[in-house]
């Protein structure tokens, strides 16, 4: 089946030809096979390595992957389990592996303070202490995250728990429960990744790759299919919809399931954000998952240059002639208890402007704030630019209490770890810092448009137990900025 032409209005080469027809089966990342020892620890291994893959059919593009040519296996663990990952760096340069969305001790967070030299191995270990959610992992080397992610390094980390098991949602991995990482790429004439000419929002590609390939289709054999969609791009926003206008049910966002399914016809995702959606299929009737032009663009200067006019096909869902019946979606999912900060909590502000947060660029040697262990805090994030930005916090999930003082729309009313910030709007976030105090290793907060992050639109905080004094490492002695 032929797809509608791509409209690529980015500042880079405009692709006017029809895109690759959806003739290639969607690759589903393999589930990592952990070894569970007598100690009960679930042990995974990952190897960051060089390889090559046909992102576009017929052209081999040099890529990087975890334990493979591109992307990485899906790690999966249950709430309460102890996990260990042995990460080996077989790349020619240093990298790190950050567990995006994970509540994890700071020294195992995998940010720019946990670099893995070429040939070295890093072995984080922690206990899963958060509800079921769709998380992901990716490199976080300061100044080079965009390049490492663009080359193919990212994977899913799924968390399961009993509350979610009890809901009877589609959960058969690779059958009716499908992880989808959506990314944009640009290629040189020779078929290599084109890493030149970032716009002010970063590298924008004219080719969409879904789970690493362009032109993917997936054959659905069940009446309902759950898509766990990750925007794994550097700077591009997507507005996902089904091409025939049928709606879908949003059941979860970054940090877990919503209190109840939300019926939508489209959902916008900025880099790093995830959405779990359930699509209801009809036998024999195909439907295309598409990204539509971004319509929320008030205050955005150069929307066209930032890719807001572009439309892309992401995946064709082919429905089998007979579909295995699926139960109706539960009317309620996971209850949401609102986080309330005490009056005594500081109200911290984060002004996003011009590659900076609060007028400062990232300094590995500067701790921007310390937070008492156990604190519930309200953070006020403002986009003071005419550019798109978003805001991501490590270690915690947050609730969006308000957008410009008003309650957030339903799609933003669940647990999040990354929020898109429209120009000149103010986002009030509530979060709680539990379990992990560390006077030495900080967590990060940053804009997740990777070019902005690399430019230094990032800061650091320590979580401190009572009586602990900050004792950060001197990173300059380690050859870091």
What residue 147 binds from ligand C2O, Cu ion, none (CB within 5 to 8 A, per partner kind)? Answer: none
Q: Which of residues 408-427 bind Cu ion (CB under 5 A)?
A: none
Instruction: Name which of 261 and 414 has its Cβ closer to Cu ion.
Output: 414
What residue 449 binds from ligand C2O, Cu ion, none (CB within 5 to 8 A, per partner kind)? Answer: Cu ion
Min separation Cβ 163 and ligand C2O, Å: 25
Q: Report the C-alpha gap between 290 and 311 in whole angstroms.
A: 7
The footprint of ligand C2O (CB under 6 A) covers: 98, 100, 138, 140, 272, 392, 394, 444, 446, 448
- Any contact of residue 397 with Cu ion (CB under 5 A)? no
In degrees, rounded to 5, the angle at the alpha carbon of residue 264 between the alpha carbons of residues 130 and 403 is 65
Calculated CA dihedral for residues 461, 463, 468, 474, nearest 10 degrees: -40
- Any contact of residue 431 with Cu ion (CB under 5 A)? no
Calculated CA dihedral for residues 139, 126, 78, 397, nearest 10 degrees: -60
Instruction: Name which of 237 and 241 has its Cβ closer to Cu ion.
Output: 237
Instruction: Name which of 136 and 312 has its Cβ closer to ligand C2O.
Output: 136
- Among 279, 449, 450, 462, contact with Cu ion (rule: CB under 5 A): 449
Min separation Cβ 237 and Cu ion, Å: 12
According to DSSP, the β-strands at 248-253 and 256-264 are antiparallel
Min separation Cβ 99 and ligand C2O, Å: 9
What backbone torsions phi and psi does residue 274 show, to the nearest 5 degrees?
-125, 155
Count of residues near Cu ion by CB under 5 A: 6
Instruction: Name which of 185 and 452 has its Cβ closer to Cu ion.
Output: 452
- Any contact of residue 452 with Cu ion (CB under 5 A)? yes
- Any contact of residue 236 with Cu ion (CB under 5 A)? no
Min separation Cβ 99 and Cu ion, Å: 7
What residue 389 binds from ligand C2O, Cu ion, none (CB within 5 to 8 A, per partner kind)? Answer: Cu ion
Would you state the structure tokens that stand for residue 226, as one six-digit string? 């759950």
- Any contact of residue 389 with Cu ion (CB under 5 A)? yes
Min separation Cβ 313 and ligand C2O, Å: 26
- Any contact of residue 382 with Cu ion (CB under 5 A)? no
Residue number of the CB closest to ligand C2O reads 100
- Any contact of residue 318 with Cu ion (CB under 5 A)? no
- Among 76, 100, 151, 416, contact with Cu ion (rule: CB under 5 A): 100
- Any contact of residue 362 with Cu ion (CB under 5 A)? no
Instruction: Name which of 254 and 385 has its Cβ closer to ligand C2O.
Output: 254
Binding site residues, Cu ion, CB under 5 A: 100, 389, 394, 447, 449, 452
């Amino acid at each position: 089946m032929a797809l509608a032409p791509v409209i690529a209005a980015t500042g880079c080469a405009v692709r006017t030809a029809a895109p690759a027809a959806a003739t290639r089966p969607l690759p589903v990342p393999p589930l990592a096979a952990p070894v569970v020892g007598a100690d009960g620890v679930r042990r995974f291994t990952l190897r960051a390595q060089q390889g090559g893959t046909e992102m576009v059919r017929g052209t081999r593009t040099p890529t990087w992957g975890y334990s493979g040519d591109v992307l990485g296996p899906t790690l999966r663990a249950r709430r309460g389990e102890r996990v260990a990952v042995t990460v080996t760096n077989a790349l020619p340069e240093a990298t790190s592996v950050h567990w995006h969305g994970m509540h994890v001790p700071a020294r195992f967070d995998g940010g720019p303070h946990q670099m893995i030299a070429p040939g070295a191995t890093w072995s984080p270990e922690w206990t899963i202490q958060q509800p079921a959610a769709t998380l992901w992992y990716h490199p976080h080397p300061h100044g080079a995250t965009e390049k490492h992610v663009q080359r193919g390094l990212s994977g899913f980390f799924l968390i399961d728990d009993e509350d979610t098991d009890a809901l009877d949602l589609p959960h058969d991995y690779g059958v009716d429960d499908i992880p989808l990482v959506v990314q944009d790429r640009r290629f040189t004439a020779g078929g290599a990744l084109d890493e030149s000419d970032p716009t002010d929002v970063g590298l924008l590609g004219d080719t969409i790759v879904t789970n690493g390939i362009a032109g993917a289709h997936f054959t659905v054999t069940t009446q309902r299919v759950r898509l766990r969609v990750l925007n794994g791009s550097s700077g591009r926003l997507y507005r996902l919809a089904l091409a025939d206008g049928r709606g879908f049910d949003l059941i979860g966002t970054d940090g877990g399931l919503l209190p109840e399914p939300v019926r939508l016809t489209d959902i916008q995702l900025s880099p790093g954000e995830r959405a779990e959606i359930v699509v209801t299929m009809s036998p024999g009737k195909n439907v295309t998952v598409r990204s539509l032009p971004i319509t929320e663009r008030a205050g955005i200067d150069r929307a066209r240059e930032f890719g807001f006019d572009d439309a892309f096909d992401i995946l064709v869902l082919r429905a089998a002639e007979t579909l295995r019946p699926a139960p109706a979606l539960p009317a309620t999912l996971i209850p949401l208890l609102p986080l309330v900060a005490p009056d005594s909590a500081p109200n911290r502000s984060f002004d996003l402007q011009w590659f900076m947060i609060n007028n400062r660029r990232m300094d590995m040697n500067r701790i921007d704030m310390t937070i008492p262990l156990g604190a519930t805090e309200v953070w006020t994030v403002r986009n003071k630019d005419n550019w798109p930005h978003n805001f991501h916090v490590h270690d915690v999930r947050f609730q969006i209490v308000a957008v410009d003082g008003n309650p957030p729309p339903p799609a933003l009313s669940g647990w999040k770890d990354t929020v898109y910030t429209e120009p000149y709007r103010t986002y009030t976030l509530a979060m709680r810092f539990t379990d992990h105090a560390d006077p030495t290793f900080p967590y990060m907060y940053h804009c997740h448009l990777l070019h902005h992050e690399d430019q230094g639109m990032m800061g650091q905080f320590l979580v401190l137990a009572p009586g602990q004094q900050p004792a950060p490492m001197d990173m300059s002695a380690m050859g870091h900025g």
